[in-house]
Structure 1
């Protein structure tokens, strides 16, 4: 069986809610080739497998945040994206647990692709963190270097500037 969804396509289906990367039940149903209603049915039948860090039922402000993220990704405008029923949002662990609930061969293949997507996103976050540390280190060392350079320039300026006697007569072209 060939998976019709690429990692890049799945990346556009991942949103941030409560500090978790999540996927909508309707997007997952599309990926697995089942109706959203059937997917939610299976989850409700196996609800013990989905603790609160696997499955999130968003409140109204989180739904607004979700609509905003969907609009940002150009899937649909936020005003036109209305949920008939409150969607289930699955975290990475929740998506992994879905593979035990939906046991078709297609579901297994789709789940593998989704897990690869989450892994790819995690590696990007690790790389971003590493780059931030390098930039911070570079900034600190550059600031120290500039401080030394400016101190030395100040010292040189003091040495080069001639010291004029206080009782020195001023030279002028004007007659007094």
Structure 2
């Protein structure tokens, strides 16, 4: 379960897609980022734009600042980022792989470590989907509760109005009975 959590921490949302970056995948597969990218380039026909894309410079700069800020107290991610990016050509931004692109990596990388890690990554994506489905289910339940409360509010307002009318009628009756009588009395 710890490996799943470690993988989930390396999944980002970019351009509305949940992706993993090439250097994070290289760490997980225990290969150099360059080796991973070379294997992808040798099999580029397998990686269409919906499987893999290169980050823009702005996306990359924004991400790097967020990663460093988020992990400035700890050292794990910053060290990984520094270690893996130290050899990267600074003019090249990382590749982002969607879930389908990561699945396609299993057909490109054949080591036992890569195969086992791919299975773990797929499980991490499944866990994320489960959490999102649960969140959507909770949102729906909250919406239903809110609707019910709205209905109850309307019903309670009607009850309050009816009670006020009854109290007003009782007060009017009391005033009529307590008035001073005029005329002849017996």
TM-score normalised by L of structure 1: 0.82
Aligned pair partner of 1:106 in 102, 105, 113: 113
Correspondence 1:131-170 to 2 at 5 A: 131-161=138-168, 162-163=171-172
2:126 is the counterpart of 1:119: yes
Q: Indicate the residue corresponding to 1:76 in structure 2.
A: 78
Provide, for residues 70-115 of structure 1, a one-character-per-residue CA deviation record: whole Å limited to 9, x for no partner.
24642339xx889722100101111000010001111100100000
TM-superposed deviation, 1:61: 2.9
Match of residue 22, structure 1, among 19, 23, 34: 19
Other structure's SS at 1:16 match: strand
Unpaired runs of 5+ in structure 1?
169-176
Where 2:50 maps in the other structure, the secondary structure is: coil
Could you state the TM-score of these two structures normalised by the residue count of structure 2? 0.78
Contact 1:17–1:66, Cα closer than 8 Å, also in 2: no
Aligned-partner Cα distance in 2 for 1:137–1:76: 44
Partner residue in 1 for 2:101: 94
Corresponding residue of 1:57? 54
The 1:72/1:127 distance shift into structure 2, 3 A limit, reads farther
> Where is the helix percentage greater, Structure 1 or Structure 2?
2
Size of the aligned set, in residue pairs, is 161
After the TM superposition, which parts of structure 1 deviate over 4 Å for at least 4 consecutive aligned residues?
80-83
Q: List gaps (5 residues or longer) in structure 2.
A: 72-76, 180-186
2:4 corresponding residue in structure 1: 7
Q: 2:102 and 2:136 mapped to 1: Cα distance?
A: 25
